[in-house]
Structures are given as structure tokens and as C-alpha cells.
Amino acid sequence: MAAQDLGASEWERSKISNQDINLMKKLGLMKKKDALIFPSEESYPSPPMEYRVSFVDHLIRGLSAPIHDFLRGLLFVYGLQLHQLTPNSILHVSIIITLCECFLGTQPNWALWKRIFCLRRNGSHNIAYNIGGVVICVRPDVEYFDVKFPDSVQGWRRRWLYVREECPDSLEYNIAPFDGSAKILRRRSWDAEATEEEKTATEALMKRIHELQNTRGKELSGIQITAYFLRIRVQPLQARKNPLWMYAGDKDVDRLSKDLSVKDLEKLVRKISSLSKKDTIPTSCRVEPYSGVNALPKPLMKEFIRLGTQFIGYRDHANNLKEALAIANKRADDLAFELEKSEKAREKAELEAASVESLRKRLHEAETALSEHTTQQLAREGDIIARLESQNRRFVRKMSQEFELEEPDDDRLLDTLSLLEIYGDEVRRNISDAKAAFSRLFPYFFPKTEQPDTFAALTKCFIPKEDLGLALRQENLKIGVEGTIALVAESQQSVDWARVGEVKKMETKRWQSLIKAAKPNSKKILSFLGYKPAPSPSSTKPEVK
């Protein structure tokens, strides 16, 4: 059974606690007036103009408006909205941006992203979520930082609010307006892989990531990267004036708040990770991040900046769409030209139709003459027509109403011809349907026999003395019994098959109770084999001969 897509029914009234509000104030997320709006009594989001729907758990993981150019690109390429990403997915994007700007010295780029990440649907076999319905995953063949994500973020879907999505002139694209009922459609871009050219261009970055993970005494972890951007009070997913490799400390223009206390920082890191109170929280990174006091080496800066601007994924997609639009416009012009030709063809067809109408009148006159002559012939056969008329008059009247015959009571020829045509069509149609049905059944009952050409020979095949259906059912029963024996043998259980075969003394009630007890396991077996069990299978004993 296909998973049920919850859609709009998944939303409910927002429940943001005072503790959540105090945390956002402490993080500086409410410093700017009207940056956030909290819902009142509505149970379904209805954001004001220029606002989008987000979540408390997204904001504390590095999201702020206006949204970073790279995140806009990802939403555009993947065809997603903010509310369709899980909190852990938001944290993935925050970490990769911090990694690129602070430890690789480059802008986050589409080529490197495709080498590390892909997308998957979030849900079970029965439920497909809309809120948080997409998960960003690390590719299984890629060695990447262990971020220590929690298995689940409890109740995050209920803590939704409105964030003001400002659109500065420097940002070329805006994110899509909120649509809480829009279904998530999987795109090929979800599994897009880096091209050979992109792999070559990003090989130095992947090598550097490997060094950051494995250099003895200077290992970098996902928790260290997370703690770093929380500690410097700059939101990675916010459009900023400067990249993080130019971070200027307490006076940095992109800082949202003053430094958090050690206690508040540790509490926040544990809140968004799987670390417990027994685990230590890193107070610094073992590798010094690039910043205003630890500048990028100039040769590296030049090369990495080139890579950072080489792959702007969503702009490439936008250019492709523009090209597709130009092709569509040309196609529309071609269709308009074809339409004009069709109009001329229609006018020509109307002229030809006039001549056809004159031919139709002449044909009608010929048919009338033939009908009169035939009527005279049939008048001499009055006795035969009278007998046919007495037997079929009631049927002809009914059919004359359906086919709107002219004066059926006075035109005996028309009555007779109509009757013969109706019976003939019905007989031919029934024979054709029967032949088609028997032809489909023939291969199942006679798998090694050539199918007869005539209908009469075909029907004789299905009138044997023995019951073909019984033979087929017995064969299916035999296959089922052999399959059961094979499954028991695979389970490595010892069974005395001689005793199992003695079923004549078994009572019907006992048989039905055993069948009922077997149903849960039979559904699992049938599911493994790829079959869907009938809704109410019979519990009667099968026929055995």
C-alpha cells in the first residue's frame, strides 16, 4: 500500500513556550523589530506578505533571514520549501557553510555539495511527511564529519512561526511563497552527482577535508564546527556582509548577540546534538579557523574563491530554464503557423464537403429507388414477412424508439432490415467477445497446445469431460504445499512430515483456528514474495485428490 501523504492535515496550532522565546532573545534572533511574528490562534500557517514559515529548531541551528544565497540555491534546485526540511538537514547546511568559509577558505559551492550529499524522503511505509518530509543525507561512500545528530527532535513541527524574508538588491532570487499543502515531488537533482570536471576541480577540497578529520592531534569534528558558529554568534544560513574567514570578533557586523556563557553554550550544543551531560563540549577547535586574525594564505584564497564562484547551482538551473523557455516560445510560434495552415485546410475541406453533400443526395435517391423495388419484391413474399412481423413486432417497436426509425409501423422493409441488422450485430459482437475471452484463457489451461483458428474449435477445447479449473486449483495447491515445506526447511525446524500428512481426522473448527493463527506470518511471507493477500481468504480445507 502506498504511503499516505499528510499534506495540509499535518499542521496544528503552534505551541511556542516562554523558554523558546527567551532562548531566541538570548541568541539575538529577535533583536531586529518585526523579524519574527508568533502565530495567534490559527491552526494552519497564513504568513503576512514578505514572511515565510519557519521553526524555532531551524533558527537555533543557524537559520536567519534574509536567507543565505547558497540555501536559496538548494531550495530552488531541489524544488523545496523551508518547512519541508528537517532540523538536522538545516544543521547539515549550516555546518558545510561554516566548514567551507572557516576551514577550507572558499565559498560553499554546488560541486562540493554534490560530492558529499544527496536527498531522501522522510517517513515510514504508511506515512509520508510534508513538514520535514525531506532529509539531507551524507552519501554512503563519502567519509565526512560525524555530527552526532539526535535520532529525533521531539515536537519541533509544533513550534512554527513567521520570519521576515527581506530581499536585498544583492540577492538575485527569492524563495518560493509558503504553500503548506504542496506535495513533495522527487526530482532527479536529489541524486545528482558531480561531473568528472567537478570532481577534478574539488579534489583539493576533499583532500583537505580528509586531512582535517585525520591529522593526529589536530582532528576536527562536526561538534567542534557546530560549537564554533554558535560561539561566534554569526548565523551561517543568513545572508551576510562578509564571509566567515573575515570574522572580526566582538565587533563583527554580522554578529547577532554577545557571547553566550559557557553554561548556555554547552546547553545549546547538547540541545541540537545527541551529546549527554556526561559528554564534554569543546570550547575551541583543534584547528584554528580562518578569520580576521588568521587570514587565508593568498594563493589558497585565490584558488578557492575561483572554485566557490565556479558552480552556482541554482543560477545554472535558472539559465537552463530560460533556454527552455526560448525553445517553448519558438515551439509556440511554430504551432501558430501550423494553426494558420490548418485554417486554410479547413476552408478547403468545407468546399469539398459541399460536393460530398450533393453526392450524398444522389446516393439517397438511389437508395430510395432500391427500397421501392425491394418492397415490391417482398410484397410477393407477404406470408413470410407476416410471420416475422407477428413474432418480432414488440421488439421492433422498442428498438425503433432507440434508433429513431421513420414510420416503423408502416415500413415493413425497414422493420425487417433493422431487425436483421440488430440481431446480426449483437450475434457478431457476442461471438467476438467470447472468442477474445476464450483466447485469453487458452494459454493458462493449454500451455503447450497451439490455439485453434476457428471459434468452434476453440470452444470445443473448453468442453472436456474433466474439470480444467479443478486441475488448475490442484496444481496451485501443490505449489503452495511445496512452498510451505521449503519455508519450514529454511527455518531449520524439525518436522515429521509423515504425521503432518495425516489430516483426515482433523476437525473443521481446529483447521479454522490454525488458519487464523497462521495469517500474521503468511502476510509477511507473501509480502516477501511480492504478493498482496486477499482481504478475507477462505479458511475451509482445500480439495485434495
Same domain, 289 and 337: no
Q: What is the mean pLDDT of the chain?
A: 80
Same domain, 371 and 300: no
Give the residue ranges of DSSP H helices in 17-109.
18-26, 56-59, 69-78, 87-99
d(CA 135, CA 122) in angstroms, rounded, equals 6
**Whether 39 contacts 162, CB under 8 Å:** yes
Same domain, 299 and 368: no
Residues 247-266 pLDDT 10s: 999 999 999 999 999 999 99
**pLDDT above 70 (res 106):** yes
DSSP 504: T
- Whether 238 is covered by a domain: the verdict is yes
Range of the domain at 485: 468-529
Same domain, 354 and 251: no
CA 275 from centre of chain: 34
Domain boundary among 311, 329, 354: 311
Q: For 92-119, what is the mean pLDDT?
A: 94
- Whether 108 is covered by a domain: the verdict is yes
Same domain, 290 and 327: no
Q: For 232-239, what is the mean pLDDT?
A: 95
- Whether 303 is covered by a domain: the verdict is yes
Same domain, 23 and 170: yes
Domain boundary among 380, 400, 427: 380
Q: For 503-511, what is the mean pLDDT?
A: 74
Same domain, 110 and 131: yes
Residues 363-421 pLDDT 10s: 666 556 555 655 555 455 555 545 555 555 555 555 555 545 455 556 666 677 777 77
- Whether 336 is covered by a domain: the verdict is yes
- Whether 55 is covered by a domain: the verdict is yes
Buried b (16+ CB within 10 A) or exposed e, 298-307: eeeeebbeeb
Domains: count for the chain: 3
- Whether 453 is covered by a domain: the verdict is no
d(CA 223, CA 136) in angstroms, rounded, equals 18
Same domain, 300 and 285: yes
- Whether 446 is covered by a domain: the verdict is no
Same domain, 113 and 180: yes
- Whether 438 is covered by a domain: the verdict is no
Same domain, 121 and 49: yes
Residues 194-226 pLDDT 10s: 999 999 999 999 999 999 998 888 889 999 999
Same domain, 337 and 306: no
Same domain, 189 and 289: yes
pLDDT score of 312:
45
Q: Which of 263-272, 281-290, 394-403, 513-522 has the lowest mean pLDDT?
A: 394-403
**pLDDT above 70 (res 2):** no
Domain boundary among 255, 288, 311: 311
